[in-house]
């Protein structure tokens, strides 16, 4: 283990990306993700990498795709409004099977909203923001250390599956500081060998059109369907190895909380307070929210009386919980959209009410 150090969530993202071999970053400053760009503008040149501040978020995503196709591990970082602008090119990365990492440090929206305040309003945008059906992997950290480890995992998944991966953080996790000991690189998943790149003995054809296995565009319904199903299948077939779920106090739980990101921190405290009062509560925290851990939630729904789903939005992941529970237990949403973090006491009150 490395020596203990006080580190911010956005700083941990930078460290994880560099450890994973990041060598290209293109972005545009936007609160609350700006520290990622600021730090990488200093750190990347020191390791032979390139940092470019683009004119906007659309161009940033395009530059990241180009760098990845040229053989570099590439990343960009943004927040809600910028994430919306990246969506068209995010779809292009999905259909062209271009590995890259997109960090979205969520803030209150829509529009400019409250730029310095936390929210969880981009959950559905992360899954369905770009047009058409497309595969996507979305990881959601709830601590500084996990921001580091999930950033490394994001690069490993992107390279293995040749797909964009989103790290869906939030203002609380991105800006808080915690004492951490970073695990050695060998303790975490390793990013695969570099891919063949343009101009190095390989001829590659890249197009956003539907294309056959050789890369040439097609209007064949059968070929188009086969392409899209294959893109989705490569995520589905690796679901178990890319789904990370944290389970706490679930062995004897009668009621459980399903929470992610910063809210999961309050939920864990609420569960501990509930147990002190004799309420057998537990926590299921998905660190992978897309693909949604439906089997894990379904299994839990069959063992408890109720699932509480606190979110800093008007209810974006609760629908997925309800679909997974499939009537096996009561599903109770708890929502807050006033820019304030859901507190342990609020979650505890819901648990006691049940």
pLDDT tens track for 298-351? 999 999 999 999 999 999 999 999 999 999 999 999 999 999 999 999 999 999
User: What is the average pLDDT score of the chain?
Assistant: 95
Q: CB-based burial of residue 1 (10 Å sphere; 0-12 exposed, 13-18 middle, 19+ buried)?
A: exposed
Tokens 């009410």 found at: 353
Q: Edge to edge, what strands does the sheet with 281-286 contain? A: 245-248, 281-286, 255-258, 306-311, 330-335
pLDDT tens track for 68-124? 999 999 999 999 999 999 999 999 999 999 999 999 999 999 999 999 999 999 999
> Residue 38 CB: number of other CB atoms within 10 A?
14
CA distance linking residue 264 with residue 3, whole number of Å: 27
- Percent of the chain at pLDDT > 70 equals 96
pLDDT tens track for 183-205? 877 777 666 666 667 767 777 78
CA distance linking residue 121 with residue 107, whole number of Å: 8
CATH number of 246-353: 3.40.50.920
Calculate mean pLDDT across residues 286-296. Answer: 98
Same fold yes or no, 5-241 and 246-353:
yes
List residues bridging with 100 in a β-sheet.
Answer: 164
Q: What is the DSSP letter of 109?
A: -
Q: Please report which confidence band the pLDDT of residue 230 belongs to, taking 50, 70 and 90 as the band edges.
A: very high
Residue-range domain boundaries for the chain? 5-241, 246-353
How do beta strands 100-106 and 50-53 pair? Answer: unpaired
Q: Residue 1: pLDDT above 60?
A: no
The listed CATH number (3.40.50.970, 3.40.50.300, 3.90.1150.10, 3.30.565.10) that belongs to domain 5-241: 3.40.50.970
Q: Report pLDDT for 214.
A: 85
């Amino acid at each position: 283990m490395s020596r203990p150090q006080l580190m911010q969530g956005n700083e941990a993202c930078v460290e994880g990306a560099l450890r994973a071999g990041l060598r290209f970053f293109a972005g545009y400053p936007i609160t609350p993700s700006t520290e990622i760009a600021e730090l990488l503008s200093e750190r990347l040149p020191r390791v032979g990498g390139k940092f470019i501040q683009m004119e906007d978020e659309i161009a940033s995503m395009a530059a990241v795709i180009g760098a990845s196709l040229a053989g570099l591990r590439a990343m960009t970082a943004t927040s809600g409004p910028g994430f919306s602008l990246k969506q068209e090119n995010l779809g292009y990365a999905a259909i062209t099977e271009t590995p890259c990492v997109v960090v979205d440090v969520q803030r209150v929206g829509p529009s400019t909203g409250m730029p310095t305040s936390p929210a969880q309003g981009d959950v559905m945008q992360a899954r369905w923001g770009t047009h058409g059906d497309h595969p996507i992997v979305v990881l959601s950290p709830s601590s500084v250390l996990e921001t580091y480890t999930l950033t490394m995992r994001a690069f490993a998944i992107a390279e293995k599956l040749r797909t964009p991966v989103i790290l869906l953080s939030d203002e609380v996790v991105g800006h808080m500081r915690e004492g951490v000991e970073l695990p050695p690189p060998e303790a975490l998943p390793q990013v695969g060998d570099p891919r063949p790149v343009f101009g190095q003995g390989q001829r590659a054809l890249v197009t956003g059109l539907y294309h056959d296995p050789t890369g040439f565009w097609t209007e064949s319904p059968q070929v188009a369907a086969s392409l899209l199903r294959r893109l989705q299948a490569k995520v589905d077939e690796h679901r178990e190895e890319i789904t990370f779920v944290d389970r706490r106090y679930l062995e004897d739980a009668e009621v459980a909380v399903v929470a992610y990101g910063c809210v999961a921190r309050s939920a864990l405290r609420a569960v501990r307070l509930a147990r002190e009062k004799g309420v057998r509560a537990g926590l299921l925290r998905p660190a992978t929210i897309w693909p949604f851990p439906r089997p894990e939630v379904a299994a839990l729904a069959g063992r408890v009386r109720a699932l509480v789903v606190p979110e800093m939005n008007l209810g974006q992941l609760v629908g997925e919980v309800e679909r997974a529970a499939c009537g096996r237990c009561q599903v109770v949403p708890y929502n807050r959209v006033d820019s304030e973090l859901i507190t342990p006491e609020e979650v505890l009150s819901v648990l006691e009410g049940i």
